[in-house]
Amino acid sequence: MSRDAVSQLSLDLSASPETKREAKHSGRRSGLGRVTVMPNEAAEMLGVSRDFFDEHVKPELRIIRRGRKMILVPVTELERWVRESAARWGE
Protein backbone atom coordinates (compact mmCIF):
# COMPACT_ATOMS: atom_id res chain seq x y z
CA MET A 1 0.00 0.00 0.00
CA SER A 2 1.45 3.36 -0.95
CA ARG A 3 1.96 6.16 1.54
CA ASP A 4 -0.77 8.14 -0.27
CA ALA A 5 -3.18 5.26 0.14
CA VAL A 6 -2.36 5.06 3.85
CA SER A 7 -2.97 8.77 4.29
CA GLN A 8 -6.39 8.34 2.70
CA LEU A 9 -7.43 5.62 5.15
CA SER A 10 -10.11 6.73 7.53
CA LEU A 11 -12.13 5.00 10.18
CA ASP A 12 -15.87 4.62 9.82
CA LEU A 13 -17.19 6.94 12.51
CA SER A 14 -20.85 6.48 11.66
CA ALA A 15 -22.82 5.40 14.66
CA SER A 16 -23.91 1.78 14.88
CA PRO A 17 -27.62 1.05 15.51
CA GLU A 18 -26.72 0.23 19.12
CA THR A 19 -24.88 3.53 19.54
CA LYS A 20 -27.80 5.43 18.02
CA ARG A 21 -30.16 3.76 20.51
CA GLU A 22 -27.87 4.69 23.40
CA ALA A 23 -27.63 8.27 22.15
CA LYS A 24 -31.41 8.50 21.88
CA HIS A 25 -31.86 7.30 25.46
CA SER A 26 -29.06 9.38 26.93
CA GLY A 27 -30.08 12.61 25.22
CA ARG A 28 -26.90 12.83 23.12
CA ARG A 29 -27.29 13.88 19.52
CA SER A 30 -25.90 11.15 17.27
CA GLY A 31 -24.94 13.73 14.61
CA LEU A 32 -22.07 15.03 16.73
CA GLY A 33 -18.64 13.59 16.06
CA ARG A 34 -17.41 11.32 18.82
CA VAL A 35 -13.95 11.67 20.29
CA THR A 36 -13.99 8.35 22.19
CA VAL A 37 -15.56 4.94 21.69
CA MET A 38 -15.99 1.83 23.80
CA PRO A 39 -13.60 -1.10 23.12
CA ASN A 40 -16.31 -3.11 21.30
CA GLU A 41 -16.91 -0.16 19.00
CA ALA A 42 -13.18 0.34 18.47
CA ALA A 43 -12.81 -3.30 17.40
CA GLU A 44 -15.77 -2.92 15.04
CA MET A 45 -14.32 0.27 13.55
CA LEU A 46 -11.06 -1.55 12.82
CA GLY A 47 -12.88 -4.59 11.43
CA VAL A 48 -11.42 -7.04 13.96
CA SER A 49 -12.84 -9.19 16.74
CA ARG A 50 -12.88 -7.94 20.31
CA ASP A 51 -10.43 -10.70 21.29
CA PHE A 52 -7.98 -9.63 18.56
CA PHE A 53 -8.40 -5.99 19.58
CA ASP A 54 -7.69 -6.76 23.25
CA GLU A 55 -4.64 -8.89 22.46
CA HIS A 56 -2.98 -7.06 19.57
CA VAL A 57 -4.25 -3.47 19.39
CA LYS A 58 -5.22 -2.23 22.86
CA PRO A 59 -1.71 -2.69 24.35
CA GLU A 60 -0.41 -0.18 21.78
CA LEU A 61 -3.06 2.48 22.51
CA ARG A 62 -3.33 5.20 25.08
CA ILE A 63 -6.74 4.61 26.64
CA ILE A 64 -8.90 6.31 29.25
CA ARG A 65 -9.88 4.31 32.34
CA ARG A 66 -12.56 5.50 34.73
CA GLY A 67 -13.60 3.28 37.60
CA ARG A 68 -13.18 -0.46 37.51
CA LYS A 69 -14.76 -1.24 34.16
CA MET A 70 -15.09 1.97 32.15
CA ILE A 71 -12.62 2.05 29.27
CA LEU A 72 -12.76 4.68 26.52
CA VAL A 73 -10.62 4.61 23.41
CA PRO A 74 -9.84 7.98 21.80
CA VAL A 75 -10.63 7.89 18.07
CA THR A 76 -7.37 9.76 17.41
CA GLU A 77 -5.49 6.84 19.00
CA LEU A 78 -7.16 4.40 16.60
CA GLU A 79 -6.25 6.62 13.66
CA ARG A 80 -2.64 6.86 14.89
CA TRP A 81 -2.45 3.09 15.30
CA VAL A 82 -3.69 2.55 11.73
CA ARG A 83 -1.15 5.04 10.33
CA GLU A 84 1.77 3.57 12.27
CA SER A 85 0.80 -0.07 11.72
CA ALA A 86 0.21 0.19 7.99
CA ALA A 87 2.87 -1.46 5.83
CA ARG A 88 3.32 -1.92 2.14
CA TRP A 89 1.90 -5.14 0.75
CA GLY A 90 4.45 -7.94 0.97
CA GLU A 91 6.61 -6.41 3.71
Q: What is the pLDDT of residue 88?
A: 75
Which are the contacts of 90, defined by CB distance < 8 A and separation ≥ 6?
none
Q: Has residue 20 got a pLDDT over 70?
A: no
Domain count of the fold of the chain: 1
- How would you classify residue 32: left for phi > 0, otherwise alpha for psi between -120 and 50, otherwise beta? beta
User: Of 4, 24, 37, whose CA–CA distance to 14 is shortest?
Assistant: 37
Between residues 26 and 20, which one has the greater pLDDT?
Answer: 20
Residue 41 lies in a domain: yes
Residue-level pLDDT at 32: 73
Mean pLDDT on 8-15: 56
DSSP classification of residue 71: E
What pLDDT, in 10s, does the model give residues 28-80? 555 678 999 999 999 999 999 999 999 999 999 999 999 999 999 999 999 99
Residue at 90 is within a domain: no
Cβ-proximal residues to 44 (8 Å cutoff; 6+ apart), any chain? 16
Q: Residue 91 domain-assigned?
A: no
Structural domain boundaries enclosing 71: 3-85
Domain-embedded: residue 36 = yes
> What letter does residue 70 receive in the DSSP assignment?
E
